[in-house]
Amino acid sequence: MDKIKFATVWLAGCSGCHMSFLDLDEFLIELAGLVDVVFSPIGTDLKDYPEGVDVCLVEGAIANEENLELALEIRRKTKTLISFGDCAVTANVPAMRNMMGNKTAAPVLERAYIELADEKPHLPNAPGIVPELLDRVLPVHEVIPIDIFMPGCPPSADRIRATLEPLLQGKTPEMVGREMIKFG
């Protein structure tokens, strides 16, 4: 049997979910024997998301054009997508800027780069280099269909393992109970 093609992506989040993934400790060695890591900010140095991925953990919310583009791409190329952590599931802290106004990202940019600037206040502008912020930050499932939701800020290593292990055996994990779905 071919190894499972496994990926992780990092959108608008703090990388804490990926750090929690590294907390899997010795299970990582077991996992490395069962999967091919084909794309991951902590597992490979590849820049392009490949075709035919079996399982992908998606950390982070959809906050800018790059996040949106990558989200659409991974959906096309992946069988099972897992919303990995509260930012992916609820948009969480990155979405707190939505409270400053749902219509455009202008208020948060002005707050950060003009009002709070110590010197030379100006808005970042580098078309094609710095991705533009979307008007509002969204949970991943509001942009693409998601197969499994794994809340938590971050989800504990135990929760990550309990989600991945059934998938490695071709089963669907049961996301119920405090250990699996408590937010925060």
Q: Which of 18, 136, 159, 161 binds another protein (CB under 8 A)?
A: 136
**Is 94 exposed, middle or buried (CB count within 10 Å of its CB: 0-12, 13-18, 19+)?**
buried
Does residue 177 touch another protein according to CB under 8 A?
yes
Q: Which of 42, 142, 166, 172 binds another protein (CB under 8 A)?
A: 142
CA angle at residue 145 from 158 to 68, to 5 degrees?
95
Q: Which is nearer to another protein, 18 or 136 (CB)?
A: 136
- Measured from the CB of residue 35, what is the shortest distance to another protein in angstroms? 23
R_g of the chain, CA atoms, integer Å: 17
Q: Which of 139, 159, 160, 167 binds another protein (CB under 8 A)?
A: 139
Residues 70-129 that bind another protein (CB under 8 A): 83, 86, 89-93, 95-96, 98-99, 101-102
Residues 70, 30: Cα–Cα separation, whole Å:
28
Closest Cα partner for 55 from 177, 163, 180? 163
Residues 39, 5: Cα–Cα separation, whole Å:
9
Q: Which residues of this chain interact with another protein, rule CB under 8 A?
A: 83, 86, 89-93, 95-96, 98-99, 101-102, 136, 139, 141-142, 146, 149-151, 153, 175-178, 180-184
